Amino acid sequence: MLASPLIQEELKDKSHGGTMNILNLGLLRNLSFPMPPTSEQHRIVAKVDELFAICDALKERINESQVTQLNLADALVDGAVG
């Protein structure tokens, strides 16, 4: 969050010093961070949870496909040798 251009600009505006800008803990404590409304935060979390569930399902399918691939390779070798 501190790397965002909005926060960087606010830090630059509120810092002081000659050659190097100085930040102190009081300045950081008084920074305002824009936050979406609680309902939007809940919507974001629900969407992220949904996407993680999709990722988990895809990982499982990849694992199943790898097992199937190994079984097919074994069957081919057995068929060629046997």
Mean pLDDT by 10 residues, the chain (82 residues): 78 69 74 86 97 98 97 93 82
Residue 15 has, within 13 A of its CA and on its CB side, a CA count of 16
Dihedral sign of CA atoms 7, 12, 16, 22 in order: positive
Q: How far apart are CA 6 and CA 43, in angstroms?
A: 24
pTM of the model: 0.55
For 1-26, give the secondary structure using H, E and C: CCCCHHHHHHHHHHCECCCCCECCHH
Q: Give the model's pLDDT for residue 7.
A: 77
